[in-house]
Amino acid sequence: MIPIRDTAPCNSKPYVTWGIMVVCISIFIAMKLMPDQTVISLLNRYGMVPIRYSTLHAGLPFDGYLSFLTNLFLHASWTHLIVNMWFLWIFADNVEDRMGRIPFLIFYLVCGVFATILQWYFDPMLDIPVIGASGAIAGVLAAYFFLYPLERVIVFFPPIVFHVPAITFLGLWVLLQLHNATTSIIFEGTTIDVAWWAHLGGFVAGSVLYRFFLRDKKNEVI
């Protein structure tokens, strides 16, 4: 099922969401214009390579855990980028509207970092970069799941278009992370499964933390 749009009203312009999208897209396009060796070097430096933090003999310099944050703005392929940005476009505006811009940005980054930590914990000896906004976006989806459970999501399931409650669509999304990890291309010619522990970690973080970032908590049903 491919989500087309949601029906939840949004009362403010999602400038932070748009800003995150612009940064991710700009970085991806800039890297597409770079030589392959430069791209590989940047991915190894700013992508989260789990083995870097698991052993002193990984051959990679310690970066003070910076990549747990910077990896959220890197993407491996056009498909990887488009899918992430599409989910962000559909679901993040309403969450930003309920939280306010600065709290939403902090929430997004915290969920992303937690997602990356969980991925490292479960795959500490992986020697290629974990990259992408998926973990942070999973936190946004969790917030939407609890804030707008009965709003409708318009989805395309070839050859038909239909409406489903957000709680159904996002619930199925979570189950799919557990059963069918998709593929993410890190380097040309090298494929690995998507870091589904990061997806799950982001969703768990978002489920726990969203209520602390709401603009008017006393009126929220939690």
Q: Rounded distance, CA 189 to CA 106, Å? A: 35
> pLDDT over 90 for what percent of the chain?
71
CA 54 to the chain's CA centroid? 23
What pTM was estimated for this model as a whole?
A: 0.89
pLDDT tens, 20-62? 999 999 999 999 999 999 999 999 999 999 999 988 656 777 7
3-state secondary structure of 131: coil
- Inter-axis angle of helices 15-32 and 101-122, nearest 10: 50
**Average pLDDT score, the chain:** 88
The H or E element spanning position 36 is helix 36-46
Q: Rounded distance, CA 27 to CA 158, Å? A: 32
CATH topology of domain 11-215: Rhomboid-like fold (1.20.1540)
Q: Can you give the pLDDT at residue 64?
A: 85
In sequence order, which residues have a C-beta less than 8 Å from that of residue 145 and are 6 or more positions away? 166, 167, 170, 171, 207
Q: Can you give the pLDDT at residue 178?
A: 67
Instruction: Please say if the pLDDT value at position 108 is more than 60.
Output: yes
pLDDT tens, 121-143? 888 888 889 999 999 999 999 99
Report domain extents, the chain: 11-215
What does the block give as tokens for 196? 């589904």
Q: What does the DSSP 8-state code read for residue 123?
A: S
In sequence order, which residues have a C-beta less than 8 Å from that of residue 119 and are 6 or more positions away? 48, 50, 130, 135, 195, 197, 198, 201
Q: Can you give the pLDDT at residue 185?
A: 35
pLDDT tens, 178-217? 654 444 334 344 445 567 688 888 999 999 999 999 987 5
Instruction: Please say if the pLDDT value at position 65 is more than 80.
Output: yes
For residue 65, which amino acid is it? Y
Q: Does 173 or 196 have the greater pLDDT score? A: 173
Instruction: Please say if the pLDDT value at position 94 is more than 60.
Output: yes
